[in-house]
Structure 1
Amino acid sequence: MVDPATTLVVDGLTTDCVPTGDEWTYNSGILLQAFSSLYKVTGNQTYATYAKTCANAAIRRFQSKEAPGILADDCCSTAEACDCSADAASFHGILARSLGKFLTVFPDEEDIADAVRVNAASAWNNRDYATDQLGISWWSPVIVDEDFDGDKNLECVAQMAGLHLLNANKTIP
């Protein structure tokens, strides 16, 4: 549900259909990708407006506290306090993938393209150079498996999120 006060997507509705719940990157990503696709199919300008509003709101809201401009969910907005579950570790990757799809429909949205470029460069420059593994935080040195308490699933999910980002970056004209 889009929260009209913030133009962000929250995780649920009350029984009275009032938006409630946490804000997560993937919620905004899925909705902005849906609006982009609807615009592409219908040409209806309302969908374009919604897609652009969601994309810009997500870029403004979901940033690392340590590195403004770098996408992060609240559970990992600082490297020291990064405690995302395996699900949540994938969320900013879903937003990145959706921003890439958005840019295939709206290639002239330079602010969004710049945000994807900056995030991709940061993630790549902060990878584990020995393995080229990407970490859960895209602004600090890769978080290696001992930081995940040996949770290989979380390590894999973080890698997948980073790959979504790098693929999104490749969609930019």
Structure 2
Amino acid sequence: MATASPSGSEQKLQSTPSGIPQAPFIEDVESHLGGPDVPVQATLQKFQEALQKYKIMESSTFSRSKSLQEKIPDIEKTLAMVEHLKELREEGKGMETRFELHDTLYASAEIEPVDEVNLWLGANVMLSYPLEEAITLLSSKLSTAQKSLKSADSDLDFLRDQITTMEVNIARTHNWDVRRRREG
């Protein structure tokens, strides 16, 4: 996407790796509109639509970021437990634990050294994995989730900048129109 700058040259707009386009900054409203007698309503409507799209993207990206922030600690805890089970197996030791049966009801259990663990994959699917494969899978999921969170947070920062740019464009265009009407 490109926009005309006041000097008449084309300005190349960037986009994020996830495809979010950069909002154009309108320095010279009259030049952008194409002259002093051009109505501004269509341009203001386009700016408002772009602003709404950025806000929708921001909301969606914020939800994705929150979801990842909740998932990452769960993955980390699961990975730590599987690594602990692996250490216990290598030492030939079992472990005693308590687990939740219901909100306030717990039971104790003695766990013998294990070679496999069952992992929830989502959508009511659970698979059994050897400890090494489970560690590899969980490490991969953790790495992917952390990269996705970093990308989502970066996209949020970018989107906030684009929202501000569009709000400034709207204000500048509106103010230019008001000034033009007063002078005319």
- Aligning the two structures, in what range does the TM-score lie when normalised by the shorter sequence? 0.3 to 0.5
Normalization by structure 1: what TM-score? Answer: 0.35
Query: Which of structures 1 and 2 has the larger relative contact order (alpha carbons within 8 angstroms, sep 6+)?
Result: 2
- The structure that has the greater radius of gyration is 2
Give the structure with the higher percent strand: 2
Normalization by structure 2: what TM-score? Answer: 0.34
